[in-house]
Structure 1
Protein backbone atom coordinates (compact mmCIF):
# COMPACT_ATOMS: atom_id res chain seq x y z
CA UNK A 1 0.00 0.00 0.00
CA UNK A 2 2.73 2.49 0.95
CA UNK A 3 4.58 1.60 -2.24
CA UNK A 4 1.49 2.37 -4.29
CA UNK A 5 0.99 5.71 -2.52
CA UNK A 6 4.67 6.52 -3.03
CA UNK A 7 4.25 6.06 -6.78
CA UNK A 8 1.32 8.49 -6.86
CA UNK A 9 2.76 11.99 -6.45
CA UNK A 10 -0.53 13.60 -5.46
CA UNK A 11 -1.33 10.88 -2.92
CA UNK A 12 2.21 11.17 -1.54
CA UNK A 13 1.75 14.94 -1.13
CA UNK A 14 -1.49 14.33 0.74
CA UNK A 15 0.14 11.69 2.94
CA UNK A 16 3.05 14.00 3.80
CA UNK A 17 0.71 16.90 4.55
CA UNK A 18 -1.32 14.71 6.92
CA UNK A 19 1.89 13.61 8.66
CA UNK A 20 2.94 17.24 9.05
CA UNK A 21 -0.45 18.13 10.53
CA UNK A 22 -0.25 15.26 13.01
CA UNK A 23 3.28 16.30 13.93
CA UNK A 24 2.24 19.94 14.41
CA UNK A 25 -0.78 19.00 16.52
CA UNK A 26 1.23 16.63 18.73
CA UNK A 27 3.97 19.20 19.36
CA UNK A 28 1.74 22.29 19.55
CA UNK A 29 2.98 23.44 23.01
CA UNK A 30 6.56 23.45 21.72
CA UNK A 31 5.93 24.79 18.23
CA UNK A 32 3.58 27.67 19.07
CA UNK A 33 5.61 30.88 19.52
CA UNK A 34 3.05 32.48 21.87
CA UNK A 35 0.17 31.65 24.19
CA UNK A 36 -2.82 31.14 21.84
CA UNK A 37 -5.33 32.73 24.23
CA UNK A 38 -3.19 35.55 25.63
CA UNK A 39 -4.86 38.93 24.98
CA UNK A 40 -2.80 42.07 24.35
CA UNK A 41 -4.95 44.89 22.99
CA UNK A 42 -1.87 46.98 22.25
CA UNK A 43 -1.06 44.44 19.51
CA UNK A 44 -4.57 44.37 18.05
CA UNK A 45 -4.52 43.56 14.29
CA UNK A 46 -0.73 43.72 14.24
CA UNK A 47 0.47 42.87 10.71
CA UNK A 48 2.75 39.87 10.08
CA UNK A 49 6.36 40.42 11.14
CA UNK A 50 9.27 38.49 12.62
CA UNK A 51 7.67 38.09 16.07
CA UNK A 52 4.18 37.35 14.73
CA UNK A 53 4.67 35.63 11.33
CA UNK A 54 0.91 35.47 10.66
CA UNK A 55 0.02 38.68 12.50
CA UNK A 56 -2.46 39.04 15.36
CA UNK A 57 -6.24 39.16 15.61
CA UNK A 58 -8.47 41.93 17.00
CA UNK A 59 -7.56 40.95 20.56
CA UNK A 60 -3.81 40.87 19.91
CA UNK A 61 -3.59 37.06 19.96
CA UNK A 62 -0.97 35.34 17.81
CA UNK A 63 -2.71 33.85 14.78
CA UNK A 64 0.08 31.35 14.08
CA UNK A 65 -0.13 29.98 17.64
CA UNK A 66 -3.91 29.70 17.40
CA UNK A 67 -3.65 27.89 14.08
CA UNK A 68 -1.14 25.42 15.53
CA UNK A 69 -3.36 24.64 18.51
CA UNK A 70 -6.35 24.52 16.19
CA UNK A 71 -4.84 21.48 14.47
CA UNK A 72 -5.51 19.47 17.60
CA UNK A 73 -9.17 20.41 17.72
CA UNK A 74 -9.88 20.03 14.02
CA UNK A 75 -8.09 16.72 13.54
CA UNK A 76 -9.05 15.32 16.94
CA UNK A 77 -12.76 16.02 16.56
CA UNK A 78 -12.78 14.81 12.94
CA UNK A 79 -11.11 11.54 13.93
CA UNK A 80 -13.64 11.00 16.73
CA UNK A 81 -16.62 11.73 14.47
CA UNK A 82 -15.33 9.52 11.64
CA UNK A 83 -14.57 6.69 14.09
CA UNK A 84 -18.09 6.83 15.53
CA UNK A 85 -19.88 6.98 12.16
CA UNK A 86 -17.59 4.28 10.75
CA UNK A 87 -18.33 1.90 13.62
CA UNK A 88 -22.06 2.64 13.78
CA UNK A 89 -22.52 2.44 10.02
CA UNK A 90 -20.54 -0.78 9.76
CA UNK A 91 -22.51 -2.43 12.58
CA UNK A 92 -25.94 -1.40 11.28
CA UNK A 93 -25.22 -2.02 7.60
CA UNK A 94 -23.46 -5.34 8.09
CA UNK A 95 -26.14 -6.72 10.39
CA UNK A 96 -28.93 -5.55 8.07
CA UNK A 97 -27.29 -7.05 5.00
CA UNK A 98 -26.41 -10.39 6.59
CA UNK A 99 -29.56 -11.02 8.66
CA UNK A 100 -32.03 -9.58 6.13
CA UNK A 101 -35.76 -9.89 6.65
CA UNK A 102 -37.67 -7.47 8.86
CA UNK A 103 -34.46 -6.37 10.60
CA UNK A 104 -33.04 -5.22 7.28
CA UNK A 105 -36.33 -3.55 6.32
CA UNK A 106 -36.63 -1.54 9.56
CA UNK A 107 -33.00 -0.40 9.61
CA UNK A 108 -32.97 0.64 5.95
CA UNK A 109 -36.19 2.62 6.34
CA UNK A 110 -34.52 4.55 9.18
CA UNK A 111 -31.53 5.15 6.90
CA UNK A 112 -33.84 6.30 4.08
CA UNK A 113 -35.61 8.77 6.38
CA UNK A 114 -32.32 10.30 7.54
CA UNK A 115 -30.98 10.46 3.98
CA UNK A 116 -34.09 12.39 2.95
CA UNK A 117 -32.89 15.39 4.99
CA UNK A 118 -29.94 17.59 3.96
CA UNK A 119 -27.23 16.24 6.27
CA UNK A 120 -25.54 19.50 7.28
CA UNK A 121 -28.84 21.31 7.87
CA UNK A 122 -30.08 18.45 10.04
CA UNK A 123 -26.80 18.49 11.99
CA UNK A 124 -27.13 22.27 12.48
CA UNK A 125 -30.66 21.77 13.77
CA UNK A 126 -29.56 19.08 16.24
CA UNK A 127 -26.58 21.13 17.42
CA UNK A 128 -28.79 24.20 17.81
CA UNK A 129 -31.21 22.20 19.94
CA UNK A 130 -28.44 20.74 22.11
CA UNK A 131 -26.63 24.08 22.50
CA UNK A 132 -23.30 25.47 21.25
CA UNK A 133 -20.29 23.33 22.13
CA UNK A 134 -17.75 21.12 20.39
CA UNK A 135 -19.15 18.01 22.07
CA UNK A 136 -22.64 18.79 20.79
CA UNK A 137 -21.56 19.32 17.18
CA UNK A 138 -19.61 16.06 17.39
CA UNK A 139 -22.80 14.30 18.54
CA UNK A 140 -24.87 16.03 15.85
CA UNK A 141 -22.49 15.11 13.03
CA UNK A 142 -22.25 11.53 14.29
CA UNK A 143 -26.04 11.15 14.40
CA UNK A 144 -26.35 12.37 10.82
CA UNK A 145 -23.35 10.94 8.95
CA UNK A 146 -23.41 7.24 9.87
CA UNK A 147 -26.19 6.44 7.39
CA UNK A 148 -23.92 6.60 4.32
CA UNK A 149 -21.61 3.98 5.81
CA UNK A 150 -24.59 1.79 6.72
CA UNK A 151 -25.89 1.77 3.15
CA UNK A 152 -22.47 0.99 1.68
CA UNK A 153 -21.77 -1.74 4.27
CA UNK A 154 -25.14 -3.35 3.59
CA UNK A 155 -24.52 -3.40 -0.15
CA UNK A 156 -21.09 -4.96 0.30
CA UNK A 157 -22.43 -7.65 2.64
CA UNK A 158 -25.27 -8.50 0.24
CA UNK A 159 -22.71 -8.98 -2.50
CA UNK A 160 -20.19 -10.94 -0.43
CA UNK A 161 -22.55 -13.32 1.37
CA UNK A 162 -23.42 -14.99 -1.93
CA UNK A 163 -19.79 -15.61 -2.88
CA UNK A 164 -18.58 -19.20 -3.08
CA UNK A 165 -16.19 -18.97 -0.13
CA UNK A 166 -18.94 -17.66 2.16
CA UNK A 167 -21.41 -20.31 0.98
CA UNK A 168 -18.75 -22.97 1.59
CA UNK A 169 -18.06 -21.64 5.09
CA UNK A 170 -21.79 -21.68 5.85
CA UNK A 171 -22.11 -25.24 4.52
CA UNK A 172 -19.20 -26.38 6.69
CA UNK A 173 -21.10 -25.31 9.81
CA UNK A 174 -19.36 -22.02 10.63
CA UNK A 175 -21.40 -19.74 12.84
CA UNK A 176 -22.73 -16.41 11.44
CA UNK A 177 -20.37 -14.52 13.73
CA UNK A 178 -17.34 -16.44 12.50
CA UNK A 179 -18.37 -16.03 8.86
CA UNK A 180 -18.79 -12.29 9.35
CA UNK A 181 -15.51 -11.92 11.24
CA UNK A 182 -13.26 -14.12 9.08
CA UNK A 183 -14.76 -13.99 5.61
CA UNK A 184 -16.96 -10.93 5.09
CA UNK A 185 -15.42 -8.12 7.14
CA UNK A 186 -11.86 -8.51 5.76
CA UNK A 187 -13.23 -8.29 2.21
CA UNK A 188 -15.45 -5.24 2.77
CA UNK A 189 -13.26 -3.05 4.95
CA UNK A 190 -11.11 -1.50 2.20
CA UNK A 191 -13.77 0.69 0.54
CA UNK A 192 -14.99 1.82 3.95
CA UNK A 193 -11.46 2.86 4.94
CA UNK A 194 -11.20 4.85 1.71
CA UNK A 195 -14.53 6.51 2.42
CA UNK A 196 -13.47 7.32 6.00
CA UNK A 197 -10.27 8.98 4.75
CA UNK A 198 -12.20 11.06 2.22
CA UNK A 199 -14.79 11.91 4.87
CA UNK A 200 -12.11 13.37 7.15
CA UNK A 201 -11.92 16.44 4.93
CA UNK A 202 -15.71 16.73 4.74
CA UNK A 203 -16.08 16.43 8.52
CA UNK A 204 -13.40 19.07 9.11
CA UNK A 205 -15.33 21.40 6.79
CA UNK A 206 -18.56 20.67 8.67
CA UNK A 207 -16.96 21.28 12.07
CA UNK A 208 -15.42 24.53 10.87
CA UNK A 209 -18.68 25.64 9.27
CA UNK A 210 -20.71 24.98 12.40
CA UNK A 211 -18.12 26.77 14.55
CA UNK A 212 -18.28 29.66 12.09
CA UNK A 213 -22.02 29.84 12.78
CA UNK A 214 -21.36 29.91 16.54
CA UNK A 215 -22.55 26.37 17.25
CA UNK A 216 -19.14 24.83 17.94
CA UNK A 217 -16.02 26.18 19.60
CA UNK A 218 -16.63 29.12 21.92
CA UNK A 219 -14.16 31.94 22.68
CA UNK A 220 -11.30 31.83 23.46
CA UNK A 221 -10.90 28.29 22.06
CA UNK A 222 -8.48 28.34 19.09
CA UNK A 223 -10.52 26.63 16.37
CA UNK A 224 -10.24 27.43 12.67
CA UNK A 225 -13.94 27.99 11.94
CA UNK A 226 -14.34 30.16 15.05
CA UNK A 227 -11.25 32.15 14.00
CA UNK A 228 -12.88 32.84 10.63
CA UNK A 229 -16.05 33.96 12.36
CA UNK A 230 -14.18 36.31 14.70
CA UNK A 231 -12.15 37.79 11.87
CA UNK A 232 -14.91 38.47 9.32
CA UNK A 233 -15.52 41.98 10.70
CA UNK A 234 -11.89 42.88 10.04
CA UNK A 235 -11.46 41.18 6.66
CA UNK A 236 -10.82 44.40 4.72
CA UNK A 237 -8.76 46.10 7.42
CA UNK A 238 -6.61 43.05 8.28
CA UNK A 239 -7.13 40.28 5.69
CA UNK A 240 -4.62 37.96 7.38
CA UNK A 241 -7.12 37.22 10.17
CA UNK A 242 -9.17 35.21 7.64
CA UNK A 243 -6.62 34.25 4.99
CA UNK A 244 -4.53 32.02 7.25
CA UNK A 245 -7.37 30.09 8.98
CA UNK A 246 -9.05 29.64 5.60
CA UNK A 247 -5.77 28.44 4.10
CA UNK A 248 -5.31 25.94 6.95
CA UNK A 249 -8.78 24.47 6.29
CA UNK A 250 -8.10 24.35 2.55
CA UNK A 251 -4.75 22.56 2.91
CA UNK A 252 -6.10 20.06 5.44
CA UNK A 253 -9.16 19.12 3.38
CA UNK A 254 -7.04 18.88 0.23
CA UNK A 255 -4.51 16.65 2.02
CA UNK A 256 -7.16 14.12 3.10
CA UNK A 257 -8.83 14.17 -0.31
CA UNK A 258 -5.53 13.43 -2.05
CA UNK A 259 -4.69 10.71 0.47
CA UNK A 260 -8.16 9.19 0.09
CA UNK A 261 -7.82 9.04 -3.68
CA UNK A 262 -4.45 7.34 -3.30
CA UNK A 263 -5.83 4.82 -0.80
CA UNK A 264 -8.73 4.06 -3.12
CA UNK A 265 -6.33 3.13 -5.90
CA UNK A 266 -4.03 1.21 -3.55
CA UNK A 267 -6.61 -0.75 -1.55
CA UNK A 268 -9.45 -1.41 -3.95
CA UNK A 269 -9.47 0.35 -7.32
CA UNK A 270 -12.58 -1.60 -8.41
CA UNK A 271 -14.88 0.64 -6.44
CA UNK A 272 -13.71 4.11 -7.50
CA UNK A 273 -16.47 6.69 -7.49
CA UNK A 274 -19.11 4.00 -6.98
CA UNK A 275 -18.57 4.46 -3.23
CA UNK A 276 -20.05 7.94 -3.46
CA UNK A 277 -22.88 6.83 -5.75
CA UNK A 278 -23.91 4.12 -3.29
CA UNK A 279 -23.66 6.52 -0.37
CA UNK A 280 -26.28 8.91 -1.71
CA UNK A 281 -28.64 6.53 -3.57
Structure 2
Protein backbone atom coordinates (compact mmCIF):
# COMPACT_ATOMS: atom_id res chain seq x y z
CA UNK A 1 0.00 0.00 0.00
CA UNK A 2 1.51 3.32 -1.07
CA UNK A 3 1.59 6.31 1.21
CA UNK A 4 1.01 9.78 -0.16
CA UNK A 5 3.19 12.47 1.38
CA UNK A 6 0.71 15.27 1.99
CA UNK A 7 3.47 17.49 3.31
CA UNK A 8 5.23 17.64 -0.07
CA UNK A 9 4.59 20.96 -1.84
CA UNK A 10 2.37 20.76 -4.89
CA UNK A 11 3.26 22.81 -7.91
CA UNK A 12 0.42 25.11 -8.85
CA UNK A 13 -0.95 24.55 -12.33
CA UNK A 14 -0.46 27.38 -14.77
CA UNK A 15 -3.83 29.04 -15.53
CA UNK A 16 -5.14 28.24 -19.00
CA UNK A 17 -5.66 31.89 -19.90
CA UNK A 18 -2.12 32.75 -18.90
CA UNK A 19 -0.76 29.84 -20.96
CA UNK A 20 -2.70 30.98 -24.02
CA UNK A 21 -1.56 34.57 -23.51
CA UNK A 22 2.08 33.57 -23.13
CA UNK A 23 1.83 31.40 -26.26
CA UNK A 24 0.41 34.30 -28.29
CA UNK A 25 3.10 36.71 -27.11
CA UNK A 26 5.81 34.13 -27.77
CA UNK A 27 4.48 33.48 -31.27
CA UNK A 28 4.50 37.19 -32.10
CA UNK A 29 8.03 37.53 -30.67
CA UNK A 30 9.28 34.62 -32.80
CA UNK A 31 7.78 36.23 -35.91
CA UNK A 32 9.37 39.58 -35.07
CA UNK A 33 12.86 38.39 -34.25
CA UNK A 34 13.33 35.08 -36.09
CA UNK A 35 11.15 35.74 -39.14
CA UNK A 36 13.62 38.05 -40.96
CA UNK A 37 16.42 35.61 -40.14
CA UNK A 38 14.55 32.67 -41.70
CA UNK A 39 13.41 34.71 -44.71
CA UNK A 40 15.95 37.52 -45.24
CA UNK A 41 14.66 40.73 -46.73
CA UNK A 42 14.53 44.52 -46.51
CA UNK A 43 11.34 46.13 -45.12
CA UNK A 44 12.03 49.31 -47.13
CA UNK A 45 12.93 47.76 -50.50
CA UNK A 46 10.40 48.57 -53.23
CA UNK A 47 9.45 46.79 -56.44
CA UNK A 48 6.49 48.50 -58.08
CA UNK A 49 6.09 45.58 -60.47
CA UNK A 50 5.08 43.43 -57.48
CA UNK A 51 2.69 45.98 -55.94
CA UNK A 52 -0.25 44.23 -54.24
CA UNK A 53 1.01 40.85 -55.43
CA UNK A 54 0.32 37.70 -53.46
CA UNK A 55 2.75 35.71 -51.31
CA UNK A 56 5.92 34.22 -52.73
CA UNK A 57 9.15 32.73 -51.37
CA UNK A 58 10.73 36.11 -50.56
CA UNK A 59 7.53 37.69 -49.18
CA UNK A 60 5.35 35.08 -47.39
CA UNK A 61 2.57 37.63 -46.71
CA UNK A 62 2.59 39.32 -50.10
CA UNK A 63 3.41 42.88 -51.08
CA UNK A 64 1.89 46.26 -50.24
CA UNK A 65 0.86 49.04 -52.62
CA UNK A 66 4.49 50.09 -53.12
CA UNK A 67 5.80 46.59 -53.70
CA UNK A 68 7.34 46.19 -50.24
CA UNK A 69 7.33 42.89 -48.41
CA UNK A 70 4.50 42.90 -45.85
CA UNK A 71 6.20 40.09 -43.93
CA UNK A 72 9.41 42.02 -43.33
CA UNK A 73 7.59 45.28 -42.60
CA UNK A 74 5.38 43.48 -40.10
CA UNK A 75 8.37 41.86 -38.40
CA UNK A 76 10.05 45.27 -38.06
CA UNK A 77 6.83 46.87 -36.76
CA UNK A 78 6.42 44.11 -34.18
CA UNK A 79 9.86 44.96 -32.84
CA UNK A 80 9.47 48.74 -32.91
CA UNK A 81 6.15 49.29 -31.09
CA UNK A 82 6.66 46.72 -28.28
CA UNK A 83 10.20 47.93 -27.61
CA UNK A 84 9.00 51.53 -27.24
CA UNK A 85 6.13 50.31 -25.04
CA UNK A 86 8.44 48.21 -22.85
CA UNK A 87 10.87 51.11 -22.44
CA UNK A 88 8.01 53.42 -21.44
CA UNK A 89 6.57 50.87 -18.99
CA UNK A 90 9.99 50.26 -17.42
CA UNK A 91 10.54 54.00 -16.96
CA UNK A 92 7.01 54.60 -15.67
CA UNK A 93 7.21 51.61 -13.34
CA UNK A 94 10.51 52.70 -11.82
CA UNK A 95 9.31 56.30 -11.40
CA UNK A 96 5.97 55.26 -9.92
CA UNK A 97 7.62 52.76 -7.60
CA UNK A 98 10.09 55.29 -6.21
CA UNK A 99 7.61 58.15 -5.85
CA UNK A 100 4.83 55.94 -4.51
CA UNK A 101 7.10 54.47 -1.85
CA UNK A 102 8.37 57.93 -0.97
CA UNK A 103 4.84 59.32 -0.63
CA UNK A 104 3.71 56.45 1.58
CA UNK A 105 6.81 56.54 3.77
CA UNK A 106 7.08 60.32 4.23
CA UNK A 107 3.41 61.32 4.26
CA UNK A 108 2.56 64.95 5.01
CA UNK A 109 3.31 67.58 2.38
CA UNK A 110 5.41 65.17 0.30
CA UNK A 111 2.44 62.86 -0.08
CA UNK A 112 0.07 65.75 -0.85
CA UNK A 113 2.29 67.29 -3.53
CA UNK A 114 2.96 63.98 -5.31
CA UNK A 115 -0.72 63.01 -5.14
CA UNK A 116 -1.77 66.39 -6.56
CA UNK A 117 0.73 65.99 -9.41
CA UNK A 118 -0.59 62.51 -10.19
CA UNK A 119 -4.21 63.71 -10.10
CA UNK A 120 -3.38 66.62 -12.40
CA UNK A 121 -1.82 64.32 -14.99
CA UNK A 122 -4.69 61.86 -14.59
CA UNK A 123 -7.18 64.61 -15.44
CA UNK A 124 -5.42 65.23 -18.78
CA UNK A 125 -6.33 62.77 -21.57
CA UNK A 126 -3.45 60.39 -22.15
CA UNK A 127 -3.38 60.63 -25.94
CA UNK A 128 -3.47 64.43 -25.73
CA UNK A 129 -0.42 64.40 -23.47
CA UNK A 130 1.41 62.10 -25.86
CA UNK A 131 0.52 64.40 -28.77
CA UNK A 132 1.87 67.42 -26.87
CA UNK A 133 5.17 65.62 -26.21
CA UNK A 134 5.38 64.48 -29.85
CA UNK A 135 4.97 68.10 -30.96
CA UNK A 136 7.81 69.20 -28.66
CA UNK A 137 10.27 66.35 -29.27
CA UNK A 138 11.61 65.99 -32.82
CA UNK A 139 12.50 62.29 -32.56
CA UNK A 140 9.24 60.32 -32.77
CA UNK A 141 10.41 57.22 -30.87
CA UNK A 142 11.83 59.42 -28.10
CA UNK A 143 8.60 61.43 -28.01
CA UNK A 144 6.51 58.28 -27.65
CA UNK A 145 8.77 57.05 -24.86
CA UNK A 146 8.56 60.32 -22.92
CA UNK A 147 4.84 60.82 -23.49
CA UNK A 148 3.84 57.27 -22.61
CA UNK A 149 6.09 57.31 -19.54
CA UNK A 150 4.33 60.45 -18.28
CA UNK A 151 0.94 58.85 -18.86
CA UNK A 152 1.67 55.45 -17.34
CA UNK A 153 3.64 56.35 -14.21
CA UNK A 154 0.49 57.60 -12.44
CA UNK A 155 -1.01 54.11 -12.25
CA UNK A 156 2.18 52.63 -10.83
CA UNK A 157 2.39 55.51 -8.34
CA UNK A 158 -1.16 55.04 -7.08
CA UNK A 159 -0.78 51.26 -6.71
CA UNK A 160 2.56 51.54 -4.93
CA UNK A 161 1.38 54.32 -2.61
CA UNK A 162 -1.75 52.43 -1.53
CA UNK A 163 -0.06 49.05 -1.03
CA UNK A 164 3.05 50.46 0.66
CA UNK A 165 1.01 52.50 3.14
CA UNK A 166 -0.74 49.35 4.38
CA UNK A 167 2.50 47.38 4.48
CA UNK A 168 4.35 50.03 6.47
CA UNK A 169 1.64 49.89 9.14
CA UNK A 170 2.02 46.12 9.62
CA UNK A 171 3.60 44.72 12.82
CA UNK A 172 6.39 43.02 10.86
CA UNK A 173 7.64 46.33 9.45
CA UNK A 174 7.35 48.04 12.82
CA UNK A 175 9.41 45.26 14.38
CA UNK A 176 12.07 45.61 11.68
CA UNK A 177 12.25 49.36 12.35
CA UNK A 178 12.74 48.71 16.07
CA UNK A 179 15.49 46.20 15.31
CA UNK A 180 17.37 48.86 13.35
CA UNK A 181 16.94 47.60 9.78
CA UNK A 182 17.32 50.26 7.08
CA UNK A 183 14.91 51.31 4.31
CA UNK A 184 16.58 49.14 1.66
CA UNK A 185 16.07 46.03 3.77
CA UNK A 186 12.46 46.99 4.49
CA UNK A 187 11.72 47.53 0.82
CA UNK A 188 13.40 44.30 -0.30
CA UNK A 189 11.93 42.05 2.41
CA UNK A 190 8.54 43.57 3.25
CA UNK A 191 7.36 46.01 0.57
CA UNK A 192 8.42 44.52 -2.77
CA UNK A 193 7.01 40.99 -2.13
CA UNK A 194 3.64 42.58 -1.38
CA UNK A 195 3.44 44.88 -4.41
CA UNK A 196 5.29 42.76 -7.01
CA UNK A 197 2.19 40.89 -8.30
CA UNK A 198 0.27 44.15 -8.72
CA UNK A 199 3.20 45.84 -10.43
CA UNK A 200 3.64 42.97 -12.90
CA UNK A 201 -0.08 43.04 -13.71
CA UNK A 202 0.03 46.81 -14.22
CA UNK A 203 3.12 46.40 -16.42
CA UNK A 204 1.35 43.92 -18.70
CA UNK A 205 -1.73 46.15 -19.00
CA UNK A 206 0.51 49.21 -19.47
CA UNK A 207 2.43 47.55 -22.30
CA UNK A 208 -0.80 46.69 -24.10
CA UNK A 209 -2.09 50.23 -23.58
CA UNK A 210 1.12 51.75 -24.94
CA UNK A 211 1.09 49.53 -28.04
CA UNK A 212 -2.55 50.47 -28.71
CA UNK A 213 -1.73 54.17 -28.30
CA UNK A 214 1.16 53.99 -30.77
CA UNK A 215 -0.97 52.10 -33.29
CA UNK A 216 -3.95 54.44 -32.82
CA UNK A 217 -1.86 57.55 -33.44
CA UNK A 218 -0.21 55.88 -36.43
CA UNK A 219 -3.67 55.05 -37.82
CA UNK A 220 -4.54 58.76 -37.91
CA UNK A 221 -1.15 59.69 -39.39
CA UNK A 222 0.20 61.07 -36.12
CA UNK A 223 3.35 59.47 -34.79
CA UNK A 224 5.68 57.38 -36.90
CA UNK A 225 6.34 58.74 -40.35
CA UNK A 226 6.46 56.77 -43.58
CA UNK A 227 8.31 54.72 -44.67
CA UNK A 228 8.92 53.51 -41.08
CA UNK A 229 7.10 50.18 -40.59
CA UNK A 230 4.59 50.61 -37.75
CA UNK A 231 1.39 48.66 -37.05
CA UNK A 232 -1.11 51.52 -37.20
CA UNK A 233 0.61 53.15 -40.17
CA UNK A 234 0.62 49.84 -42.06
CA UNK A 235 -3.12 49.45 -41.50
CA UNK A 236 -4.02 52.91 -42.74
CA UNK A 237 -1.72 52.56 -45.77
CA UNK A 238 -3.23 49.21 -46.78
CA UNK A 239 -6.87 50.01 -45.98
CA UNK A 240 -7.71 51.46 -49.44
CA UNK A 241 -6.45 48.23 -51.06
CA UNK A 242 -8.32 45.72 -48.92
CA UNK A 243 -10.12 44.27 -51.94
CA UNK A 244 -6.97 43.80 -54.01
CA UNK A 245 -4.76 42.53 -51.17
CA UNK A 246 -6.83 41.39 -48.16
CA UNK A 247 -3.97 39.30 -46.74
CA UNK A 248 -1.68 42.33 -46.66
CA UNK A 249 -4.22 44.30 -44.61
CA UNK A 250 -5.15 41.42 -42.31
CA UNK A 251 -1.52 40.69 -41.40
CA UNK A 252 -0.92 43.75 -39.15
CA UNK A 253 -4.50 43.54 -37.83
CA UNK A 254 -4.19 39.90 -36.75
CA UNK A 255 -0.67 40.40 -35.38
CA UNK A 256 -1.78 43.40 -33.30
CA UNK A 257 -4.83 41.52 -32.03
CA UNK A 258 -2.75 38.48 -31.06
CA UNK A 259 -0.17 40.58 -29.23
CA UNK A 260 -2.71 42.67 -27.33
CA UNK A 261 -4.87 39.65 -26.48
CA UNK A 262 -1.81 37.76 -25.22
CA UNK A 263 -0.74 40.61 -22.96
CA UNK A 264 -4.29 41.09 -21.66
CA UNK A 265 -4.69 37.37 -20.86
CA UNK A 266 -1.37 37.32 -19.04
CA UNK A 267 -2.26 40.40 -17.02
CA UNK A 268 -5.80 39.20 -16.30
CA UNK A 269 -4.61 35.82 -15.00
CA UNK A 270 -2.18 37.54 -12.66
CA UNK A 271 -4.89 39.83 -11.37
CA UNK A 272 -7.10 36.87 -10.49
Normalising by structure 2, what TM-score? 0.88
Q: Is 1:27 matched with 2:34?
A: yes
Aligned: 1:256 with 2:263: yes
Q: Provide the alpha-carbon RMSD of the alignment.
A: 2.0
Q: Determine which structure has more spread, i.e. the larger CA radius of gyration.
A: 2
Q: Is 1:78 aligned to residue 61 of structure 2?
A: no
2:213 to 188, 206, 217: 206
In the alignment, the residues of structure 1 paired with residue 13 and residue 244 of structure 2 have an alpha-carbon distance, to the nearest angstrom, of 43
**Residue 172 of structure 1: aligned partner:** 179
- Residues 132 and 217, structure 1, Cα contact 8 Å, conserved in 2: no
**C-alpha separation in 1, matches of 2:243 and 2:139:** 28
- 1:45 partner SS: coil
How many angstroms does 1:16 deviate by? 1.3
Which residue number in structure 2 is paired with residue 148 of structure 1? 155
CA shift for structure 1 position 129 = 3.1
Contact 2:63-2:248 within 8 A present in 1 as well: yes
CA distance in 1, matches of 2:81, 2:104: 33
For residues 193 and 168 of structure 1, what CA distance do their matches in structure 2 show?
A: 28
In structure 1, list runs of 5 or more residues that go unmatched: 266-281
The worse-fitting range, judged by mean Cα deviation, of 63-72 and 246-255 is 63-72
Question: In structure 1, the residue corresponding to 2:124 is in which secondary structure?
Answer: coil
The count of aligned residue pairs is 262
Q: Distance in 2 between matches of 1:103 and 1:79?
A: 29
Q: Does 1:38 align with 2:45?
A: yes
Residue deviations 1:133-155 (CA, integer Å, cap 9, x gap): 12211211112211111011100
Work out whether residues 53 and 64 of structure 2, in 8 Å CA contact, stay in contact via their aligned partners in 1.
Answer: yes
